[in-house]
Amino acid sequence: MPELPEVETIRRRLSELIVGKKISNLEVRRARSFQGDSSLVLNQQILAVKRRAKLLQLQLSNGQTILVHLKMTGQLILVQADGNRVGGGHPTADWTASLPSTHTRVIIEFADGDKLFFNDQRVFGWLKLADPAAVAAEFAKYGPDINDPGLKLDLFKLKLSKTRRPIKLALLDSALVAGLGNIYVCDALNLAKINPVRPANSLKSAEIELLFKAAQHVISRGIALNGTTFDGKFVDVSGFAGHYQDEALVYARENQPCKNCGALVIKIRQGGRGTYYCKGCQI
DNA sequence: CGGAGTGTTAGTCG
DNA sequence: CCGACTAACACTCC
């Protein structure tokens, strides 16, 4: 269930492995998982693998782009012609044995014999073939990436000052700022010592500045550690787990001591999702 | 059987 | 029209 650091980890490895390859076939096993005319990808070369927010973009030689959103359970697994397997996403037991598996939704075959499998247990994720206008339309609904150097503190402050929603929910809203998911939002709020239930527009200027830096810090750490792997549910493109979970501040640490003040981390529910925070120091 | 899951969005209500 | 909240998407695991 990848967040930005996990998607970025996949992008980097995939980029090394598939740029330059030519697509020889694309098989859609679950109609819901692929949108657009799949025949347009035939004989196209992969020019680049990019990322914006949590979306991957496979840029093709004919100007089209395959957009990939892994959502909660999507995985990309590359099986090379020599049988070696490298994947990324949220592995379920079925594909560790053989591919395609029951959760394989789309298969992209390359002319050299390598195959890229898109597996997705819950079928929330998708691949979408998009022309430049459609790509632009897709990204129009996203706010700037939290780790985009072009995102300035003033804009972040302005956006947060316009809503009284709980700060945690505001940060999860990708239209406000993109790339922050549950794990890194919980940790960023702990690092900045801000209570997740406070209305966003009640934060003081200095608090927002701390939060801005904290959010960028946890995302950077996540990328540096190749993402977060809970219960083996994420592996990078070489099949290795990420390691952010080893230094998570509060996420999934209910009843364990806060690394900042020692009080026990508690779990509450916001917007139907779990929030972990420390009552001791997140006032 | 009920509940929860690292994401997003359509629909509803005020 | 906007903000805020909920259900829904589909499936597995505990």
A42-94 confidence digits (pLDDT tens) = 999 999 999 999 999 999 999 999 999 999 889 898 888 876 666 556 655 45
Q: Is residue A283 part of a domain?
A: no
Looking at the fold, whether A107 and A168 belong to one and the same domain comes out as no
- Asked whether residue A139, judged by its CB, lies under 7 Å from any atom of the DNA or RNA strand B, the reply is no
- Active-site annotation holds for A273: yes
Query: Is A22 a domain residue?
Result: yes
Look up the CATH number of the domain holding residue A47. Answer: 3.20.190.10
Residue A206 has pLDDT above 80, yes or no: yes
SS3 content of chain A, % helix, strand, coil (to 5): 30, 25, 40
Q: Is the CB of A273 under 7 A from strand C?
A: no
Which of A61-65, A79-83, A190-194, A197-201 has the lowest average pLDDT? Answer: A79-83
Q: Kindly determine whether the C-beta of residue A103 is less than 7 Å away from any atom of nucleic acid strand B.
A: no
Same domain for A188 and A93, yes or no, is no
Q: Which of A108, A101, A89 is CA-nearest to residue A34?
A: A108
Q: Domain residues for A173?
A: 153-278
Catalytic one of A11, A13, A54, A221: A54
Query: Domain end: A110, A139, A168, which one?
Result: A139
A3 CB neighbours strand B below 7 A: yes
For the CA of A37 and the C1' of B8, the distance in angstroms is 23
Quote the longest CA-to-CA distance of chain A. 59
In a domain, A47, yes or no: yes
Query: Is A91 an active-site residue?
Result: no
What pLDDT is recorded for position A96? 52
Show the DSSP H helices in chain A as ranges.
4-18, 93-97, 132-140, 153-161, 167-172, 182-191, 205-224
Q: In chain A, how many domains are there?
A: 2
For range A199-204, the mean pLDDT: 92
A100 pLDDT more than 80: yes
pTM for this one? Answer: 0.92
Residue A258 lies in a domain: yes
State the CATH number of the domain containing residue A242: 1.10.8.50
Distance from C-alpha of A217 to C-alpha of A210, rounded to nearest angstrom:
10
Q: Is residue A42 included in any domain, yes or no?
A: yes
Chosen domain end from A139, A164, A183: A139
State the DSSP H helix or E strand holding residue A50, giving kind and residue range, or none if neither. strand A46-52
The answer to whether residues A194 and A95 belong to one domain is no
